[in-house]
Amino acid sequence: MDALDRAIINGLQGGFPLSERPYREAAGRLGISESELLFRLERLLNEGVLSRFGPLYRAEGLGGAVTLAAMRVPADRFDQVAEQVNAHPQVAHNYEREHEFNMWFVIAVDDPAEIAAVVQSIEAATGLPVHQFPKIEEYFIGARFEA
C-alpha cells in the first residue's frame, strides 16, 4: 500500500457520496480520477487488503435477518473450517478470537427463515455445532480503521 491507497481507505470510511456518479465525486475529494479510484479499489480487494467495499444495510429493515454465530474449531482445522464457513454467501465478518469459541461470524439473510438453513448447512459441512447469538439491541459505534 502506498500513501494514496491509505488516503483512499481512510477517506472512504463513512460519508460516501449518494449521487449519480458517487465514485467520480469521491475521487474528486481525493484529488484523483474516477478511473484511478476504481482501479485502486479493485486492486485492494483482489489483494485482500480490503475484504469488501460497499454499504452496510440493516437486514431487518429490509425484511431480512442477522445473527452472530460462534463455533469451537480445533486449531488444526481452523483454516479448513473457515473456508467451509466462508463458502456461504450469507456469511460476513468471519474472524478468529482467543476464546473457547474461537471462530465468530455474522449470518445475514434476505428471509429470516434462511438463518436456520445456513446454520444447518455449515454444521453439515464442518461437523461442528454453530451457536447463535441473535441481536437483542443494536448500537451504532461509528467504527473507523485508519490505514
Over residues 38-68, the pLDDT tens digits come to 999 999 999 988 877 876 666 565 667 888 9
pTM of the model: 0.64
d(CA 134, CA 68): 6
In degrees and rounded to multiples of 5, residue 131 shows phi and psi of -105, 130
Lowest mean pLDDT among 59-63, 73-77, 107-111, 116-120: 59-63
| Residue 28: predicted pLDDT | 95
| Residue 114: predicted pLDDT | 92
d(CA 97, CA 142): 22
Domain locations in the chain as residue ranges: 3-46, 59-134
Q: According to the CATH classification, is domain 59-134 in 1.20.1290.10?
A: no
